[in-house]
């Protein structure tokens, strides 16, 4: 059976990424006080299932970090005793664990973390914890160039910035603007349908595509990163057969208005993809999708529910290996 549980798939991906993740609980961080190591939670022995273990770590990732008295915790140039670079590294690990969570659980864990950080900052107004934590959070989760970006888990920070007394009026206004955009096409929800025109002039809708999985590939002509992703996909073992068998479809859509450039570039696209342009300019203009950078990739299931949103290319390829690999 090709269709598999999305959370289980992401749990395997997260385990793979964590295995190669730089740093870890046993590594000292350069520039920190001696033996000041990140206090990772210890998974109880009774938790044997990988998914449950990852959920436990995600739920308790920050517990000791926020409560333990360690060297440097009062130093405002550090983040609870860690340099900002070291804290950033640990936050990247946290972002990987969140990828393996059912979305609602991950959102709850993250909201709890932000609530605790906000409370600590309010109790210690001279501190810098809120500023340091939220700046790293923004950089890792929200920056469109971050390999750990995750729009779903940007939402708790945007919500918090919209209401917190720690936010400036500018931050609140920005958050109120961003929140509805980041809530478009959320994980587990059906993707917004839209029409696009193929090179032969035929107009079709996203929902016209019949396939076990549908990849939306928002791209621009001449975009080097788009070309790299296209080459990675073309090099994926058996991709042409997957497309022929309607296990995978690729909707390669140009969302901008310079049609002349797209027409000149279109012949290089694989002919077994749905290659088209947004003739109504609805994707960005309405907007229907929150395209913050190109390329932007979504993976949908058979019912057009969102499995991956603005997926980094490494995560996309790991997903494809697990879903379409030889063992499935």
- Does residue 208 share a domain with residue 90? no
Q: Which domain holds residue 265?
A: 195-324
CA angle 253, 256, 259 (to 5 degrees): 90
Looking at the domain assignment, is residue 187 inside a domain? no
Tell me what pLDDT residue 25 has.
41
- Does residue 44 share a domain with residue 151? yes
Residues linked to residue 190 through DSSP beta bridges, in sequence order: 305
- Does residue 263 share a domain with residue 176? no
Looking at the domain assignment, is residue 200 inside a domain? yes
CA distance to 127, 261, 323, per residue, from 186 (Å):
35, 31, 21
Q: Are 238 and 324 in contact (CB under 8 A)?
A: yes
Q: What is the rounded distance in angstroms from the CA atom of residue 181 to the CA atom of residue 92?
A: 24
- Does residue 203 share a domain with residue 177? no
Looking at the domain assignment, is residue 188 inside a domain? no
What CATH number corresponds to the domain at position 284? Answer: 3.40.30.10
Please say which residue of 147, 182, 217 terminates a domain: 182
- Does residue 172 share a domain with residue 273? no
Tell me what pLDDT residue 116 has.
98
- Does residue 112 share a domain with residue 21? yes
Give, for all 328 residues of the chain, the pLDDT tens digit.
334 456 666 666 666 666 655 444 434 444 444 446 899 999 999 998 888 999 999 999 999 999 998 888 989 999 999 999 999 999 999 999 998 888 899 999 999 999 999 999 999 999 999 999 999 999 999 999 999 999 999 999 999 999 999 999 999 999 999 999 999 999 999 999 999 999 999 999 999 999 999 999 999 998 999 999 999 999 999 999 999 999 999 999 999 999 999 999 999 999 999 999 999 999 999 999 999 999 999 999 999 999 999 999 989 999 999 999 875 5
List, in sequence order, the alpha helices (H) in the chain: 6-19, 50-60, 63-67, 84-99, 103-123, 129-137, 155-163, 169-182, 224-234, 239-244, 259-265, 282-285, 313-324
Tell me what pLDDT residue 100 has.
86
Q: What is the rounded distance in angstroms from the CA atom of residue 119 to the CA atom of residue 273?
A: 51
Tell me what pLDDT residue 27 has.
46
Looking at the domain assignment, is residue 190 inside a domain? no
Tell me what pLDDT residue 325 has.
82
Tally of domains in the chain: 2
Q: What is the rounded distance in angstroms from the CA atom of residue 231 to the CA atom of residue 172?
A: 41
């Amino acid at each position: 059976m090709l269709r598999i549980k999305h959370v289980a798939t992401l749990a395997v991906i997260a385990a793979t990424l964590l295995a190669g993740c730089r740093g870890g609980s046993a590594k000292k961080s350069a520039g920190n006080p001696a033996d000041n190591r990140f206090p990772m939670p210890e998974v109880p022995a009774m938790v044997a299932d990988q998914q449950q273990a990852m959920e436990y770590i995600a739920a308790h990732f920050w517990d000791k970090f926020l409560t333990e008295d360690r060297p440097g915790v009062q130093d405002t140039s550090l983040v609870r005793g860690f340099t900002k670079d070291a804290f950033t590294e640990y936050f990247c690990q946290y972002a990987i664990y969140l990828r393996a969570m059912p979305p609602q659980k991950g959102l709850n864990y993250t909201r709890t973390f932000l609530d605790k950080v906000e409370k600590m900052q309010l109790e210690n107004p001279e501190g810098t914890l809120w500023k340091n934590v939220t700046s790293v959070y923004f950089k890792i989760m929200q920056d469109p160039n971050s390999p750990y970006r995750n729009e779903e888990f940007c939402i708790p920070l945007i919500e918090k910035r919209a209401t917190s007394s720690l936010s400036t009026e500018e931050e609140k206004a920005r958050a109120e603007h961003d929140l509805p955009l980041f809530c478009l096409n959320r994980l587990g929800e059906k993707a917004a349908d839209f029409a696009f025109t193929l090179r032969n002039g035929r107009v079709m809708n996203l929902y016209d595509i019949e396939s076990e999985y549908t990849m939306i590939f928002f791209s621009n002509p001449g975009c080097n990163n788009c070309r790299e992703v296209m080459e990675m996909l073309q090099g994926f073992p058996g991709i042409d057969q997957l497309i022929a068998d309607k296990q995978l479809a690729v909707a390669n859509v140009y969302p901008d208005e310079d049609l002349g450039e797209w027409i000149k570039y279109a012949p290089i696209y694989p002919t077994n993809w749905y290659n088209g342009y947004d003739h109504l300019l609805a994707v960005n203009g309405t907007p229907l999708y929150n395209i913050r950078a190109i390329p932007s990739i979504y993976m949908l299931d058979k019912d057009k529910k969102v499995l991956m949103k603005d997926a980094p290319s490494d995560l996309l390829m790991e997903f494809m290996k697990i879903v379409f690999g030889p063992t499935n």
